[in-house]
Amino acid sequence: MSDIAERVRKVVAETLHVDEVNVVDESRFVEDLGADSTQSIELVAAFEEEFDIDMDEQAALGVKSVGDAIQFIDPLVQE
């Protein structure tokens, strides 16, 4: 799962224009990394592209932190 975690952190840093060292599992997209609603949708699209997966947008928008995203994406990648 470390490869997935690393890729999630990279996508988050690039999409939200933050330094990757600030992207940790506990980082919340809105409160800690400053994501707005448009960037939240961009994150979903970026994750789908990076991992070649389809994410349920409503469920994905319920993901609030980097760690949550890793746990959400990991089983989708395994399918």
**Would you name the residues annotated as active-site residues?**
36
Contact 40, 29 (CB under 8 A): yes
* 8 A C-beta contact, residue 11 and residue 23: no
14 CB-near residues (< 8 Å, 6+ apart): 46
Alpha carbon distance 37, 75 (integer Å):
25
